């Protein structure tokens, strides 16, 4: 028996019912609903996006699609409180290749307009050039953070620093077959003959990668656009929790491991930060880069960091760096330090414990963990080599600026 019943079209359903349906699906589905029709867009816009996972260089182009939605609705991130980042960088394996994202002419007009508004005024112009090109979706992150003023938690995931993840260095590696899929061999990129003449990894890095990274293939566009006290990305100003990992499963080079600790120096002074957990943060083995104790001195900030919990995993910093961090904190109640090797000399651990407790009065020795041992067992060195005469490390007032003032970039 067949029922001769006329089914209602989904577009004919009342707003209340559509809203109930949309609230039961994931963020990606809601984003797709926005693009179906004006009716769906109106309903979907009533749903507040509170959390989102940004997939960097994923084959489904979700990061690009999310950004395109943001272009059409700047309020999309107004209620976002939690943002996670996952990394899917391209490798030598063809199945991981993500083609270049192609913007429509209308999209490019919107991007140009976006570049001129006050909210994105701190973004480096080169970031927008990379976005328009459509090759490196990590460049989208700092611009997205311009529209997430209520963000409380940012989890950067296990960061993959370079646009192409390789397993080893070899002058014999040939990258020509990959270039069309990476979307970085088209005009106006360098003369193809220049690449053909020296088709090595070095040529790939020196000739082809630079237009898509902020001057250094070991720096993210997020790093380059963090800002400094008084001029942070809008999405970082209300951040209370930050996690920044590092993907160490691929060998980059014998002299380079981790991400630059200089960017941690800036993150320590975020106005409302309470918890920071980092992995692969390094000042050692980073070429000629200065240690974080020098980077911290370059930042002018009124008062000290508001951070309460610090965790360092697979860290590559020395005792002087941790002492410098201690000097700019006063509210810390828990610290954990685990190095990927013995970069913290066993004899210097008491120096770190002493300085952490000297500047953070509520921090108990038992809540300081260094290489699996707690501060009570480690002890304190009150005659620390790193200790300075009273007053010599209290120069914040002289160089201080208010949160809205001009600080000095790292």
Long-range CB contact pairs, 285-291, < 8 A, 24+: 285/255, 285/256, 285/257, 285/258, 285/316, 286/256, 286/257, 286/258, 286/260, 286/261, 286/316, 287/255, 287/256, 289/260, 289/262, 290/262, 291/261, 291/317, 291/318, 291/320, 291/321, 291/324
Long-range CB contact pairs, 107-112, < 8 A, 24+: 107/68, 107/71, 108/132, 110/71, 110/72, 111/71
Residue 309 sits in the same domain as residue 377: yes
Count of C-beta atoms within a 10 Å radius of residue 206: 14
Q: Are 356 and 385 in contact (CB under 8 A)?
A: no
What's the CA gap between 245 and 155, in Å, rounded? Answer: 8
Residue 232 sits in the same domain as residue 341: yes
Residue 297, domain member (yes or no):
yes
Among 133-147, 278-292, 363-377, the least confident range: 278-292
Parallel/antiparallel/unpaired status of strands 259-260 and 275-279: unpaired
Among 51-55, 92-96, 268-272, the least confident range: 92-96
Residue 256 sits in the same domain as residue 392: yes
What's the CA gap between 225 and 242, in Å, rounded? Answer: 16
Among 31-35, 102-106, 124-128, 181-185, the least confident range: 181-185
Residue 304 sits in the same domain as residue 223: yes
What is the mean pLDDT of the segment spanning 50-77?
A: 91
Residue 32 sits in the same domain as residue 143: no
What is the mean pLDDT of the segment spanning 30-54?
A: 72
Residue 194, domain member (yes or no):
no
Parallel/antiparallel/unpaired status of strands 241-244 and 231-232: unpaired
The encoded tokens of residue 71 equal: 């272009």
Q: Which of 163, 172, 118, 122 is nearest to 142 (CA)?
A: 122
Residue 20 sits in the same domain as residue 99: no
Q: What are phi and psi of 342, to 5 degrees?
A: -85, 60
User: 392 pLDDT exceeds 90?
Assistant: no
The pLDDT, as a whole number, for residue 351 is 94
Residue 384 pLDDT class (50, 70, 90 cuts):
low
Cα angle at 215 between 405 and 170, to 5 degrees?
Answer: 150
Among 115-124, 256-265, 273-282, 385-394, the least confident range: 385-394
Residue 285 sits in the same domain as residue 388: yes
Residue 391, domain member (yes or no):
yes
Residue 39 sits in the same domain as residue 83: no
User: 317 pLDDT exceeds 80?
Assistant: yes
What's the CA gap between 283 and 305, in Å, rounded? Answer: 20
Residue 33 sits in the same domain as residue 147: no
Residue 189, domain member (yes or no):
no
Tell me the CA distances in angstroms from 366 to 258, 341, 344, one per residue in order: 29, 23, 19
Residue 165 sits in the same domain as residue 305: yes
For the chain, give the mean pLDDT.
79
Total structural domains within the chain: 2
What's the CA gap between 55 and 89, in Å, rounded? Answer: 10
Query: Which of 47, 70, 87 is the last residue before a domain boundary?
Result: 47
Residue 227 sits in the same domain as residue 250: yes
The pLDDT, as a whole number, for residue 258 is 82
Residue 122 pLDDT class (50, 70, 90 cuts):
very high
Among 137-146, 250-259, 292-301, 355-364, the least confident range: 250-259
What is the mean pLDDT of the segment spanning 354-381?
A: 96
The pLDDT, as a whole number, for residue 147 is 96
The pLDDT, as a whole number, for residue 135 is 85
List, for residues 395-409, the tens digit of each pLDDT value: 444 444 444 444 454
Distance of alpha carbon 229 from its chain centroid, rounded? 17
Residue 318 sits in the same domain as residue 373: yes
Residue 85, domain member (yes or no):
yes
Long-range CB contact pairs, 15-22, < 8 A, 24+: 15/42, 15/43, 18/43, 19/43, 19/46, 19/47, 22/47
Residue 11, domain member (yes or no):
no
Parallel/antiparallel/unpaired status of strands 275-279 and 241-244: parallel
What is the mean pLDDT of the segment spanning 304-329?
A: 92
User: Who's near 28: CB < 8 A, 6+ residues apart?
Assistant: 62
What's the CA gap between 191 and 85, in Å, rounded? Answer: 34
Percent helix, strand, coil in the chain (nearest 5)? 35, 15, 50
Count of C-beta atoms within a 10 Å radius of residue 60: 11
What's the CA gap between 276 and 273, in Å, rounded? Answer: 8
The pLDDT, as a whole number, for residue 251 is 53
The pLDDT, as a whole number, for residue 398 is 40
User: Who's near 398: CB < 8 A, 6+ residues apart?
Assistant: none
Highest mean pLDDT among 40-44, 98-102, 212-216, 248-252: 98-102
What's the CA gap between 99 and 115, in Å, rounded? Answer: 25
Among 21-35, 42-56, 268-282, 375-389, the least confident range: 21-35
List, for residues 165-209, the tens digit of each pLDDT value: 765 444 444 455 555 545 544 434 445 444 444 444 454 455 456
Residue 3, domain member (yes or no):
no
Burial class from Cβ neighbours inside 10 Å (0-12, 13-18, 19+) for residue 152 reads: middle
Domain limits for position 37: 16-47
List, for residues 214-237, the tens digit of each pLDDT value: 876 678 999 999 998 889 999 999
Axis crossing angle, helix 105-114 with helix 62-72, rounded to the nearest 10 = 70
Is the pLDDT higher at 47 or at 133?
133
Which residue(s) pair with 54 in the sheet? 85
Residue 348, domain member (yes or no):
yes
Is the pLDDT higher at 38 or at 143?
143
Is the pLDDT higher at 362 or at 21?
362
What is the mean pLDDT of the segment spanning 328-349?
A: 85
């Amino acid at each position: 028996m067949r029922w001769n019943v006329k089914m209602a079209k989904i577009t004919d359903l009342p707003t209340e019912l559509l809203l109930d349906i949309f609230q039961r699906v994931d963020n990606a589905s809601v984003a797709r609903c926005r693009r179906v029709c004006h009716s769906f867009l109106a309903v979907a816009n009533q749903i507040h996006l509170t959390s989102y996972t940004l997939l960097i260089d994923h084959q489904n182009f979700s990061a690009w699609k999310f950004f395109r939605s943001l272009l059409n609705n700047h309020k999309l991130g107004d209620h976002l409180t939690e943002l996670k980042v996952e990394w899917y960088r391209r490798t030598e394996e063809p199945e991981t290749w993500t083609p270049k994202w192609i913007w429509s002419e209308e999209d490019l007009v919107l991007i140009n307009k976006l570049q001129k508004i006050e909210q994105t005024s701190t973004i480096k112009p080169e970031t927008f050039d990379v976005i328009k090109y459509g090759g490196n979706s990590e460049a989208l992150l700092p611009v997205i953070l311009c529209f997430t003023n209520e963000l409380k938690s940012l989890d950067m995931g296990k960061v993959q620093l370079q646009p192409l993840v390789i397993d080893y260095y070899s002058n014999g590696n040939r990258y020509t077959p990959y270039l069309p899929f990476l979307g970085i061999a088209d005009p106006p990129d360098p003369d193809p003959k220049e690449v053909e003449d020296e088709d090595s990894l070095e040529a790939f890095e020196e000739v082809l990668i630079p237009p898509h990274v902020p001057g250094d293939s070991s720096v993210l566009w997020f790093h380059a656009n963090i800002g400094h006290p008084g001029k942070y990305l809008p999405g970082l100003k209300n951040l209370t929790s930050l996690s920044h990992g590092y993907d160490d499963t691929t060998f980059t080079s014998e002299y380079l491991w981790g991400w630059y600790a200089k960017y941690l120096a800036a993150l320590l002074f975020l106005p409302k930060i309470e918890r920071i957990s980092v992995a692969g943060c390094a000042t050692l083995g980073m070429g000629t880069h200065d240690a974080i104790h020098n980077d911290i001195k370059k930042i002018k900030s009124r008062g000290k960091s508001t951070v309460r919990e610090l965790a360092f995993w697979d860290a590559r910093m020395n005792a002087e760096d941790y002492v410098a961090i201690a000097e700019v904190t006063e509210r810390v109640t828990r610290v954990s330090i685990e190095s990927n090797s013995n970069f913290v000399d066993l004899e210097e651990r008491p120096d770190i414990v002493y300085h952490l407790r000297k500047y953070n009065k509520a921090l108990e020795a038992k809540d300081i963990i260094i290489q699996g041992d707690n501060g009570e067992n480690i002890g304190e060195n009150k005659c620390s080599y790193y200790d300075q005469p009273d007053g010599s490390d209290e120069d914040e007032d002289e160089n201080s600026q208010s949160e809205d003032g001009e600080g000095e970039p790292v």
